[in-house]
Amino acid sequence: MGMREQIVKAILAKGGRTDLTTPGYHGTTRTFRGFENQPVKDSYMIDRALGTHVAADPALASSFPEKAIQTDKSPWGLNDLRVTGEPQMLPVMIPHESKFLQAAQPRYSGREAAEPNWRHVLSDQTAIEQMAAEKAYLQNPEILERYLMQARNLPAQEAIPAARSLVRGDTVRSEGLDMDLARFVKNYGGKPYNDADRQAVVDLAREAWEKEGHKGIRYVNTAPMEAGAPGVKDPTSYIVFRPENIRSRFAAFDPAKAGSSDLLAGIAGLSAVPFGIGSAYDQSKYEVPR
């Protein structure tokens, strides 16, 4: 039995959530009670707003709190050590692997086979952004219409029929385009130019994926400072759509709190725990202060 299987068995033996069977890790410099989804305007990034990011490899997770230790130049040209918080990492449990949608990260050809996997696949940020945009445009073509007008500078009388044709599955060969929706998103990314539409992409894509039974997205972390951190052997990471689907491995399960985002739902007398991972960006937006 492997280490991951042993962890799962131990958690379930303690009465933990039986649907949270995948071990993960999240690093932070803060102490907090649970997670909450951040609005897209806080990071401008679709993948960050979709949910909370968790790493499969503790070495990858630990790369985030380590970034809390920074060096600043003093007025005299000296390096001053500045610590923004105490690095911490908490083991967590998230839904079963089968509940995660695999991000589409095609492999680049011509790369050395000996290179780590994360160095020769499409970046996770780009892949997830493309997936979310295509999913959302199918739900609401008006977002695509505005994108064509704002990003491609098409007049409304051209953008509206072009967007509707793309969503129907047609190949558009006019208005400066020659592609179907999948190719359009692959070429242009499709991230809207305004906060409201970017948030709509996040909400629509997440809702559609949840209706299909997905609890999140599994992806290959491709950031050199993260996947390439010392000791990282597995670049697999996850986006968990809902905070209530993350629990500390030390939490006891109270059925009455199944929908709670509290990491320690069911444990009395504990006020907060160290926890955190996700990106080089400020992760505190995920975290609910105690």
The pLDDT-based confidence of 269 (bands split at 50, 70, 90) is: very low
| Annotated domain spans of the chain | 3-289
97 pLDDT band (50/70/90 cuts)?
very high
For residue 274, name the pLDDT band (cuts at 50, 70, 90): very low
pLDDT of res. 45: 87
In the DSSP assignment, the letter for residue 118 is G
Q: Which amino acid is at 201?
A: V
Bridge partner residues of 71 (DSSP): 81
Average the pLDDT over 180-209 and give the result. 91
Q: What b/e readout covers 217-249, taking b as 16+ CB neighbours within 10 angstroms?
A: bbbbbbbeebbbbeebebbbbbbbbbbbbbbbb
Measured CA to CA, the distance from residue 61 to residue 237 in angstroms comes to 9
What's the pLDDT tens digit per position in 140-191? 999 999 999 988 888 999 899 989 999 999 888 765 667 899 988 988 877 8
Write the CA distances from 98 to 66, 102, 217, 243, 246, integer angstroms.
31, 9, 10, 18, 16
pLDDT in tens, 48-64: 999 999 999 998 888 77
For residue 94, what are its two tokens? 């998230």
Nearest alpha carbon to residue 205 among 138, 125, 126, 127: 138
Mean pLDDT of 279-290: 40
Look at 146-160, 193-207, 265-279 and tell me which has the smallest mean pLDDT: 265-279
